[in-house]
Structure 1
């Protein structure tokens, strides 16, 4: 514990001009006398700590002293700081913050960062990420209810292996005790996430595990073509960035995307219907029939409320 405190104090002094003994004592929950002894040890180790007198006095590193930057370039350091800062915010990770402070000593000092990354998400329960992260780090089983792609609700227990952020959402990969196999779960569909005290042995896995989803080949992909009107352009572009796009003089746009079995893809129906009158399906014609059926079913539900 003392060694960790000494290393942390060194990096704090490298990142700040002057820090008082009382400030350091409060942060590390020790007495000022302990800080004085720590500073003596740091000086004995060869770090040029100087003492500043006066009202705003304290300890600092001698001007001109720099950490060795030979291992990482400033671009590498800035990129690492950016990613770690986001992770520190998402998980409230004190250890990540300590790493950031150490990297800042060899990075370029910018008044304003030229890159930011936001890994946070509003689509998960407030404590789900922290519970899963703790389960991974401490090898504890996690319980939760899950809504699958068929809208079925089941209770699950998993031995979490890793968290993944992809497709603008968080996922957790782990061993599902209910299915007795490895599974991937989307956090937005997880409810009542609970970290248990039950311990499991660490999993030894290769870097890339085989996907649990069936392979999708080019032969079973279908072109879906729809016209998007000006009042729905932004939302359509957010969802289908890689689509083939053709803009028209009236401000509308035709989008062409390849979808696996679009007549059996509720996620696609939901998205197209969410655009309301801002989109119209042109191909395949059978998809128009599917959307019309969905609209009629929705209207029937509201008719029941009115009678």
Structure 2
């Protein structure tokens, strides 16, 4: 237990940069006296650990220190290499050199066991220029500007503090703080145009960044019941994993929460005539109105 705590203290200091004995004592649930004994043991093991007194002081490890490769187990080394292989699609061939270096450092064979491709079979690959520009802006905390086409059809110029890139439901999104809306927002990468990285920087404390799940929960959703014909079974089983039932004719029934916006109709219409909204009634009526307006465009 003590050896495990020593490693955790080292990892914590490497990650945070600096801490105090009371903070470490609280985090690891031991006394301050025990923490000082642990620090002596860490120092005796050859890890350059220092303490400074007074305001702004604390406990830290020499900035240029790196952990010896022997601390990682063989399984952990393999997990690191496999994780790099899994994300290599976002880096093109830039990851290949890193994989070779780590493979040599770990004295492990890099097995090409997995391939990840986020593009669709019939669609061009993602705009990597936009992806990499945003990635660099995130790492360096640069503010970015771009033109954006929202799902409501409106166009606007946005200035954003980029937080992270997210792959969700077959598409890449930017999650960041929009200075125009004064709130955290999602931006679909394919709708971002005229991207520019500014020289201005930003800084958000981790505790001030809301969890993505929290932001999503703020959206309005409609509980709905849908009936699909047997022809749509392949998509139903692809896209819905729970709450699927089947009748004697092979029709499939799904209960699902759908977003209360235009995305809802676009998604349902993507099934063509192989889907029917059963509940709620007002959603059925809204779909009828949509279909009537669509039909009018084809009346000659």
TM-score, normalised to structure 2's length? 0.63
Give the corresponding residue for 1:287: 283
Q: How does 1:1-307 map to 2 (within 5 A)?
A: 71-74=72-75, 76-92=76-92, 94=94, 96-105=95-104, 106=106, 109=109, 113=113, 115-119=114-118, 124-190=126-192, 192-206=193-207, 208-209=209-210, 213=215, 215=217, 222-241=222-241, 243-259=242-258, 264-303=260-299, 306=300
SS at match of 2:207: coil
Give the CA deviation at 1:176. 2.3
Say whether the 8 Å CA contact 1:140–1:195 is kept in structure 2: no
For 2:283 and 2:181, the matched residues in 1 are separated by: 34
Say whether the 8 Å CA contact 1:246–1:253 is kept in structure 2: yes
Give the CA deviation at 1:137. 2.7
Give the CA deviation at 1:200. 1.4
For 1:253 and 1:69, the matched residues in 2 are separated by: 55
Q: Deviations over 1:46-89 (max 9, x none)?
A: xxxxxxxxxxxxxxxxxxxxx96661333x44443333234333
RMSD over aligned Cα, in angstroms? 3.3
Q: Deviations over 1:110-141 (max 9, x none)?
A: 7651x444445758545210121122234433
Structure 1 unaligned spans of 5+: 1-66
| Structure possessing the higher radius of gyration over alpha carbons | 1
Give the CA deviation at 1:179. 3.0
Change (3 A) 1:216 1:154: closer
Give the CA deviation at 1:213. 3.7
